[in-house]
Amino acid sequence: MSTVAASTLSHGTATSLPPARKSRRRRRPVAEFLSTYVFSKDHKVIGLQFLFSTLLWFLIGGLLALAVRWQIAWPWSDVPVLGKLFAQQGGQMAPEFYTMLFTMHASVMIFLVIIPILAGAFGNFLIPLMIGADDMAFPTLNMLSYWFMWPAFFFFGGSFFVEGGAASGGWTSYPPLSTNMNSSPGMGMGQTLWLLGLTMVGVSSMLGSVNYMTTIILMRAPGMTMFRLPMTIWAMFITAILQAFALPVLTAAGFMQITDRMLGTGFFSPEGNVVNNGIASTGGGQPLLWQHLFWFYSHPAVYIMILPAMGMVSDILTTFARKPLFGYRPMVYSIAGIAGLGFIVWGHHMFMSGMNPALGITFMVSTMMIALPSAVKTFNWLGTVWGGRIQFTTSMLFALSFVSMFIIGGLSGIFMAATPVDIFIHDTYFIVAHFHYVLFAGTAMGVWAAIYFWFPKMFGRTMNEFWGKVHFFLTFIFLNGTFFTMHILGAVGFPRRLADAYHYETFHHLQPLNAFMTYCAIGMVATQVIFAANFFWSMFFGPIAGRNPWNSNTLEWTAPSPPGHGNFDFQPVVYRGPYEYSVPGMEKDHLMQTDPPNALASAAAAHAH
């Protein structure tokens, strides 16, 4: 077996597309096209379907953010482009339109972009390849997990066009605002569609998570012990566990909200509650119940939205620092620690909610402690970079910026965790700064690092490095211009979700700063044109990559680029952990997981790839 592996490696060239697929496609074009590219059960195709869908929604979410920023910077001024679409409002943005915009910006970014791009796109594409499996454990479930996203796309997308517009109760959808149809425009059909869309995203995630757990537990290649798994896989594994345990709560809560709205069950409304002179609720419920159930999912979901990026960044950092990961086991344990503690910190979203303040103290202590594993991870990343031989590729720059920005996002979290300070900065731009540093400057930068890194494996070609660096540079500058300033805005107490805050004495002087941030945000979205052009141009015209363009160690780099159906053209056998870079006494500076141990000399011969 090992000789097969070695010989395949040494011959490994880029152009080896599986011939079988091509010839079959010629025979039965339509059916073949559908089963290969549309209703495919191949994890790589499903991963790419997720990637393209989520990138499209990323664009939509970004444009929604620009519209939000426009209103904050220049309230009630005519909105370019969008103003013409909503001509009945005379080109201005109505306040209910503004509330809808930020609600849908957050909902789209969280439920249709970040969660599916990490677990759906990269989880799907990478898990079988990195553990040496030929596919997922349940290919049909896998296909369904993608196709359950489409109802969600229709529910979320379609809700913009129903009467009253899309949901406008914030992405947290707090009742009674969200359960009472009279409370605001957008609380009719739009909110119902939002809840249905959320349920579909939940079904999709659940199907994915069951699949990932089973695949990682049962389908690892010979020799791939749990502690030889790359960090990406560890992160995906623990993320899948988080989803499996947290999601049912949200799904149940979502159904309760639907029945509150449609059947008048009153889980979340107190007795006789009247909103906007509507009909009194029969009630008997508690608005805080929703917050507990919602955050019991949505706080672990915060880690679902960052852990996979942490894992991928760890793999990218080691590759381009040419150095083993510093503290592999502490890294694994800290991910597990984050996941475990992640279940008992949800109350820190509710310090001001009216929840018993004594309970707030216990949540404060657990929240303070969850900063610890994050700190350990950061120190280990720094330790990984220390003493390395750093190659400043685009992918590495994005991965380094993940570390740099995650430090900011992690540290700003401590302010909110401190309950007395939270009294002042809760629901201000300080929290907006915090989660954008974690989710955009962290996760999104990690996703870009991953796209530049695994693009060669996905499409057999590398992306353009020069334009990649231009993309990185501008995104990095503009994102800090947009989000760093939010910290000082939050220090003034500038509240989030206000269509116009300048009529308050406390906030009237903050418009120029907001205008600056909006200019940066426009620049940031515009920069993504460079990325889109690079992405599509490189798909077809980029330089041919070869199996292992970055001289990386993990299993996916032993497969052809792109891998054919079944992934590997040989049975991968794993002999060591994934981070054996710069091993002393070796001619080449990396030792792949499949390189046989008796072949220190023959590995040197394999330096051709």
Partner 1 sequence: MRRLGGIFWSLIFLAVPILGVATFAVAPSYNIWLPKDVSEHGSSIDGLFYFILALTGVVFIATEGLLFWFLWKYDAAKAKGPATYIHGSHTLEVVWTIIPAATLLFLAIYQMNTWADVKMRRPAMAPTVEVVARQFEWRLRYPGRDGMLGTRDDLFLTNDLHLPVDEDVLVQLKSMDVLHSFFLPNLRIKQDAVPGMKIPVWFKAKETGQFDIVCAELCGWGHYKMKGRVTIESRADFDRWLEETYARQEATQPAPEDTAAAAAD
Residues 394-453 that bind partner 1 (CB under 8 A): 397, 400-401, 403-404, 407-408, 411-412, 414-415, 418-421, 423-424, 426-428
Q: Is 475 in the site for partner 1 (CB under 8 A)?
A: no
Q: Is 489 in the site for partner 1 (CB under 8 A)?
A: yes
CB of 90 to partner 1, least distance (A): 17
CB of 320 to partner 1, least distance (A): 9
Residue 425 buriedness (CB in 10 A; 0-12 / 13-18 / 19+) = buried
Q: Is 288 in the site for partner 1 (CB under 8 A)?
A: yes
Q: Is 269 in the site for partner 1 (CB under 8 A)?
A: yes
Residues in the chain: 609
Q: What is the DSSP string of 470-529?
A: HHHHHHHHHHHHHHHHHHHHHHTT-BTT-S--TTSTTTGGGHHHHHHHHHHHHHHHHHHH
Specify whether the CB–CB gap between 60 and 108 falls below 8 A: yes
Looking at beta carbons only, is 91 or 95 nearer to partner 1? 95
Choose the binding region for partner 1 from 44-52, 116-124, 501-509, 554-562 (rule: CB under 8 A). Answer: 501-509
Angle at 485 between CA 480 and CA 488, to 5 degrees: 145
Residue located via tokens 């939205």: 305
Under DSSP, the state recorded for 280 is: P
- Indicate the residue type of 537: W
List the interface residues with partner 1, window 506-525 (CB under 8 A).
Answer: 506, 509-510, 513
Looking at beta carbons only, is 167 or 210 nearer to partner 1? 167
Q: Is 274 in the site for partner 1 (CB under 8 A)?
A: yes
List the interface residues with partner 1, window 208-267 (CB under 8 A).
Answer: none
- Please state, as a whole number, how many other Cβ atoms lie within 10 Å of the Cβ of residue 249: 18
Q: Is 488 in the site for partner 1 (CB under 8 A)?
A: yes
List the interface residues with partner 1, window 111-140 (CB under 8 A).
Answer: none
Contacting partner 1 (CB under 8 A), which of 267, 326, 346, 435?
Answer: 326
List the interface residues with partner 1, window 74-103 (CB under 8 A).
Answer: 94-96, 99
Looking at beta carbons only, is 286 or 571 nearer to partner 1? 286
Q: Is 589 in the site for partner 1 (CB under 8 A)?
A: yes
Under DSSP, the state recorded for 111 is: I
d(CA 553, CA 216): 19
Contacting partner 1 (CB under 8 A), which of 123, 128, 132, 287?
Answer: 287
Looking at beta carbons only, is 69 or 487 nearer to partner 1? 487
Looking at beta carbons only, is 3 or 506 nearer to partner 1? 506
Question: How far, in Å, are 419, 576, 589 from residue 592 at the CA level?
Answer: 48, 8, 10
Looking at beta carbons only, is 46 or 100 nearer to partner 1? 100
d(CA 366, CA 343): 10
Q: Is 480 in the site for partner 1 (CB under 8 A)?
A: yes
Residue located via tokens 């479930």: 141
Q: Is 307 in the site for partner 1 (CB under 8 A)?
A: no
List the interface residues with partner 1, window 520-549 (CB under 8 A).
Answer: none
Q: 399-420 as b/e, with b when 16 or more CB fall inside 10 Å?
A: bbbbbbbbbbbbebbebbbebe
Contacting partner 1 (CB under 8 A), which of 169, 190, 342, 549?
Answer: 169
List the interface residues with partner 1, window 330-369 (CB under 8 A).
Answer: 330, 352-354, 357-358, 360-361, 364-365, 368-369
Q: 470-504 as b/e, with b when 16 or more CB fall inside 10 Å?
A: bbbebbbebbbbbbbbbbebbebbbbbebbebeee
What's 55-81 look like in SS3?
HHHHHHHHHHHHHHHHHHHCCCCCCCC
Q: Report how far Cα 568 is from the mean position of its chain's Cα atoms.
A: 28
CB of 492 to partner 1, least distance (A): 6
